[in-house]
Structure 1
Amino acid sequence: MLDIAFPSALGLAALGVLAYYGQRRYIAGCRVRIVLADTKTSAIVRHTESEGVVTLHDVLHMECPSLTDPEQAYMVPTPYLATGLLQTIYSTLQVRKRSPGTDVAYEREMLVMADAGTVSIDWLVDASLSNRDAPIVLLMAGVGGSSREYRVRVLAKALAYSPARCRMAIVNHRGTAHTPITALRPYDVGFTEDFRAVVKHVRAANPHNKLVGIGLSMGANILTKYVGEEGPKCMLACAVAVCCPFDVRVSSAAINESNLLNNHVFQPAIMGALMRAIKRASHLPLDPTWNIDVETVHSATRLQVLERELLIKICGHKDVNEYYEKAGSIDHVDNIAVPFLAINSLDDRITPPSGIPVDKFRTNPNIALALVPHGGHLGFLTGVPPRIWFVQPIVEFVLAAVK
């Protein structure tokens, strides 16, 4: 007969205590960290007779419990998505996920840019949302993304049905979401002119509505750079950037590194969208002075190849280093003059924390940074079944900023 030793009651109790404290320690490590200027210098967000002066510090600590409340400000990952790698892979593979709660109807508006390029705006349509004076939220996705993304639909619906009843306008980059390709100039991580034109157009058509900007990943960099370029003239009431690649050099190096995530998930997803757009643009003649190697472009499997062989030549950059320097939003953060919230993850392999200008968030009184330990790139998945954590903080911040 086998002599099987079973744990004693004391041993089981010890294991239970270790598991309990291990879990408590893990959860404590999931606390959201906020970086912003001190209370004395924090910028004024609003000033009313009933409230008096309300600063950005006040907004975050009084009206954004998901970010600052000691009992609520945690992003505890879904148990089976406990690392940034798993969060990123899952969210990338689920980007077109459908569910009854996120199905939305859009009404499309086409805008032709100064260079004849076309951008589309998908306005969320719902008969129950009839407040024409509500804030208008302009939302941009990342590379290859659009109004069809699951996370975009979730966020759009949450803001539309929030107490502010926001009017949602999803800004689709050139060539995305079946937007016609009518000019060779492609969108890129630092191209702000299309978004600037959209803001001016929406403002002209809605002169009294408050405008809000939200950007995800590449869209976050475009938004951040735009808000910094505009400075005090910015037409937006507030802005939110999620997983912003502030330093494009750092982000590009991370994206083009050879690893499991890039080789089998992220690069194929990005390149699939970009190569489809290139194919749809084949009717447009190339300028022979660009010296573009068409065969290299069509056989590209990495984003960096398209940047070197196509983007920098069409856009007139000297080399890829000049492109990275001009495209990044990091040098524009100091000039942001509207309430601005950035949400980044410390285990994001696509926009690594080394590229986040943390110190700038301590000196510019208009901006705040929320750092999440375990969110991956555009993951931030918590609970079972997984739900997107950053939706609630964004809703809280926007509602407080547009009061």
Structure 2
Amino acid sequence: MPIINSTYQAKGLFKSGHFSTIYSAKLRPTLRLKQTRKRLELTDSDFIDVDWSYHISEVKASHKVVILLHGLEGNAQRGYIKGQGQHLNKNGWDVAAINHRGCSGEDNRLYLSYNSGRTEDLAEFIEHIIARYSYDEISIVGYSLGGNVLLKYLGECTALPHQVKSGVAISTPLHLRGALEQLIKWENFVYSKTFINDLRKKYKRKMSNFPEAMNTEELKKIGSLLDFDNLYTAKAHGFKDAFDYYEKSSSIYVLENIKVPVLILNAENDSFLCPESYPFGLIKNLENVYLEVPRHGGHVGFHESNNVYYSERRVIEFLTDAVE
């Protein structure tokens, strides 16, 4: 029952997974979205910056908000965040787009930062929303790494706030070791090289603040995503090594615990994803987790028009259906 037959039909060059991925990340025209930045001081003395945008109505304020979670080394100004935010605002939702620690243009204060399985910041932000605002409905939409964070939060939270109603995970690596093995393949060289270059720059900036934990000799050893996760991610976040981090942070192991409706939208031709990210057999036995696998779409590249992507339209449909 939770397996959804997708209606997405890519056209022309967008049938290519790589073209869809690159066009959507680098070539999609910039969308206008008025964002207001608010900083949340976290209980561990660090911070996250959140970019808000609002449903505008002369009648009344929105009673519902969507939290958006970007992917690895992204931010709340990426095209997929602005596109989704704009479409949500037009359809009645306020939007809170979280910049993961160190991703808002200012390095975070602590040695640790963010990773694919760290849900504490999301949980604290949701608590902040509930305490400070009067939203009746909170939904969460995550992309790639952010999708894994969303699913892990919903699957691990033993006392989910009643305001949290639904979620959508887009282009999400449910099994992190498998995703790493995909990214190091030759066809993904450009993507993995871009990621590691960005992560090395961030590591280098942090070194002066944490000389006891970070140094030039280690930086020289970081030549791949696996190296980075072994030498920084695992060490900074309390894992034995990269493989321990991947195993304990993969959302596929907690899907069966999710208690609210969630859609996983993963394209068949997404070169970032491994077979475990299409768990048809598992999903068939779950009540609340839905899986939609279009033939095309690449990685966060479900193009229909530059103004509104299929994924952006599906988010509206799913979140609306989830509360009816």
Same fold (TM over 0.5): yes
Aligned pair in 2 of structure 1 residues 231, 343: CA closer, same or farther (>3 Å)?
farther
What amino acid is aligned across from residue 389 of structure 1 in structure 2? Y
* Correspondence for 1:269 among 169, 172, 194: 194
Give the CA deviation at 1:82: 1.7
Q: Give the Cα separation in 1 of the matches to 2:156 and 2:198.
A: 29
What amino acid is aligned across from residue 136 of structure 2 in structure 1? N
Q: Give the Cα separation in 2 of the matches to 1:248 and 1:129.
A: 45
* Correspondence for 2:183 among 255, 258, 268: 255
Aligned pair in 2 of structure 1 residues 131, 268: CA closer, same or farther (>3 Å)?
farther
SS of residue paired to 1:144 = coil
Corresponding residue number in structure 1 for 2:138: 211
What is the aligned length? 323
Q: Give the Cα separation in 2 of the matches to 1:127 and 1:207.
A: 16
Structure 1 runs (4+) deviating above 4 angstroms are: 125-130
Give the CA deviation at 1:284: 1.8
Is the 8 Å Cα contact of residues 207 and 215 (structure 2) preserved in structure 1? no
Q: Give the Cα separation in 1 of the matches to 2:34 and 2:197.
A: 25
SS of residue paired to 1:136 = strand
Corresponding residue number in structure 1 for 2:168: 240
Aligned pair in 2 of structure 1 residues 132, 77: CA closer, same or farther (>3 Å)?
same
Aligned pair in 2 of structure 1 residues 398, 386: CA closer, same or farther (>3 Å)?
closer
Q: Deviations over 1:375-402 (max 9, x none)?
A: 111112236x695211111111112223
What amino acid is aligned across from residue 78 of structure 1 in structure 2? K
SS of residue paired to 1:359 = helix
* Correspondence for 1:372 among 278, 282, 294: 294
Q: Deviations over 1:149-200 (max 9, x none)?
A: 01110110101101xx101000110111214411110201111111111111
TM-score, normalised to structure 1, is 0.74
Corresponding residue number in structure 1 for 2:9: 76
What amino acid is aligned across from residue 215 of structure 1 in structure 2? G
* Correspondence for 1:390 among 300, 311, 314: 311
Aligned pair in 2 of structure 1 residues 183, 232: CA closer, same or farther (>3 Å)?
closer
What amino acid is aligned across from residue 314 of structure 2 in structure 1? P
Aligned pair in 2 of structure 1 residues 374, 98: CA closer, same or farther (>3 Å)?
closer
Aligned pair in 2 of structure 1 residues 308, 228: CA closer, same or farther (>3 Å)?
same
Aligned pair in 2 of structure 1 residues 155, 129: CA closer, same or farther (>3 Å)?
farther
Give the CA deviation at 1:312: 1.2
Corresponding residue number in structure 1 for 2:254: 332
Is the 8 Å Cα contact of residues 142 and 149 (structure 2) preserved in structure 1? yes
Is the 8 Å Cα contact of residues 267 and 297 (structure 2) preserved in structure 1? yes
Is the 8 Å Cα contact of residues 155 and 391 (structure 1) preserved in structure 2? yes
Is the 8 Å Cα contact of residues 214 and 239 (structure 1) preserved in structure 2? yes
Q: Give the Cα separation in 1 of the matches to 2:176 and 2:161.
A: 23
SS of residue paired to 2:293 = strand
% identical equivalent positions:
24
Is the 8 Å Cα contact of residues 349 and 377 (structure 1) preserved in structure 2? yes
- Output the aligned Cα RMSD: 2.3
Q: Give the Cα separation in 1 of the matches to 2:211 and 2:321.
A: 48
Aligned pair in 2 of structure 1 residues 126, 173: CA closer, same or farther (>3 Å)?
same
Give the CA deviation at 1:274: 2.4
What amino acid is aligned across from residue 88 of structure 2 in structure 1? L
What amino acid is aligned across from residue 223 of structure 1 in structure 2? L
Note the residue ranges of structure 2 that are not aligned, 5 or more in a row: none
What amino acid is aligned across from residue 194 of structure 2 in structure 1? A
Aligned pair in 2 of structure 1 residues 207, 267: CA closer, same or farther (>3 Å)?
same
Q: Deviations over 1:325-376 (max 9, x none)?
A: 1110011100000111111111111023333322221112112111111111
Corresponding residue number in structure 2 for 1:123: 52
Is the 8 Å Cα contact of residues 265 and 292 (structure 2) preserved in structure 1? yes
Note the residue ranges of structure 1 that are not aligned, 5 or more in a row: 1-34, 38-66
Give the CA deviation at 1:323: 0.9
Q: Give the Cα separation in 2 of the matches to 1:401 and 1:206.
A: 22
Report matched runs for 1:62-141 at 5 Å: 73-94=6-27, 97-99=28-30, 102-125=31-54, 128=57, 131-141=60-70
The yes-or-no answer on 1:36 pairing with 2:2 is yes
Report matched runs for 1:292-371 at 5 Å: 292=214, 294-297=216-219, 300-371=222-293
Q: Give the Cα separation in 1 of the matches to 2:218 and 2:301.
A: 33
